[in-house]
Amino acid sequence: MEVTLKIFRYNPETDKKPSYKSYKLDANEMDRVLDLLEKVKGYQDGTLSFRRSCAHGICGSDAMRINGMNRLACKTLIRDVGTRVTVEPILGLPVLKDLIVDMEPFFDNFRSVKPWFITADPEPEKERYQSPEARARFDDTTKCILCACCTTSCPSFWGSEKYVGPAAIVAAHRFIFDDRDQAAAERLQILNEATGVHRCHTIFNCTMACPREIQITKAIGEVKMAISTGILD
C-alpha cells in the first residue's frame, strides 16, 4: 500500500517559520510509523531529524504527535493510523529541529519533585525488605519511561510551563507511597505549591496518552488526597 507521511519540518537556525513536507512510501500495514520515518531519512531526505533509540517502547525517546495524538512512533502501526499520517513534535516544549524538542524543561520539572529514594536510616546489611502489599501500592507508577506523552498532552501544561506536569507527579507518587522512603512530606509540600497538583483539572489527556497505560489521573488524585488529608493510605 502507498502511505503519505506529512511531516512537520523546522530548523530554527535557517527557517523563518515551520512548514510541512509530504513523503510517499511503499508500506505494509504492520509497519510502524518509526519504520517509515527511518525510510524517509535513509532514502528520501537525510536532513529529517527525530529521536529514537530502543525501537521497542522502552526508552521513551520517540514521543511525537501522530494524527494529533501523542504516541511513541515505535509502537504505532500504520494499520491503526491509516495511509495519510501527519507527524508533528509534541507540544509545549521548544522545537530544536523537526520532531526533536528540548526536553530540559520537562526534566527540570521531573527533578523538582526529588524522584529518588530518601531515608535517614542507616544502610542495612541486606536489602530493605518490603511486603508484596506495600510494593503493590505504587506498582503502577514504577512503569513510567519518561516519554513526556502525558505532560505534553495536558492543556494545563500548555497554559503554563510552570506546572510540573503529570509525569513529575507520577514520579513523585512512586516514592511518596513507598513505605521505605522518608521524604513523602517534603514532596507533598513541593506538590502543594502553585506549580503543583492543584493545576491539574482532571482533564485525563495524560491518561489517554500514556503508552504504559499508567492510571495517571488516579495517581494525581491520590497525591491530592494525601495533601488534603495528610494521610498516606
Is residue 227 near ligand F3S by the rule CB under 6 A? Answer: no
Cell of 134: 506495600
φ, ψ of residue 124 in degrees (nearest 5): -75, 160
Residue 59 makes CB contacts below 8 A (sequence gap 6+) with 53, 145
Cell of 182: 522518608
Residues lying near ligand SF4 in the complex (CB under 6 A): 60, 144-150, 166-167, 170, 209-212, 214, 216
The CB-of-100 to ligand FES minimum distance in angstroms stands at 13
Cell of 49: 531529524
Q: What single letter denotes the amino acid at residue 122? A: P
The window from 39-47, 102-110, 129-137, 202-210 that contacts ligand F3S (CB under 6 A) reads 202-210
The CB-of-54 to ligand FES minimum distance in angstroms stands at 4
Q: Among ligand FES, ligand SF4, ligand F3S, none, what binds residue 212 when CB lies within 5 to 8 Å by partner kind?
A: ligand SF4
- Residues 200, 215: Cα–Cα separation, whole Å: 14
Q: Among ligand SF4, ligand FES, ligand F3S, none, what binds residue 41 when CB lies within 5 to 8 Å by partner kind?
A: none
φ, ψ of residue 22 in degrees (nearest 5): -105, 140
Q: Among ligand F3S, ligand SF4, ligand FES, none, what binds residue 146 when CB lies within 5 to 8 Å by partner kind?
A: ligand SF4
Site string for ligand F3S, 204-223 (x = CB under 6 A): xxx----------x--x---
Residue 212 makes CB contacts below 8 A (sequence gap 6+) with 143, 144, 145
Q: Which residues bind ligand FES (CB under 6 A)?
A: 52-55, 57-62, 72, 74
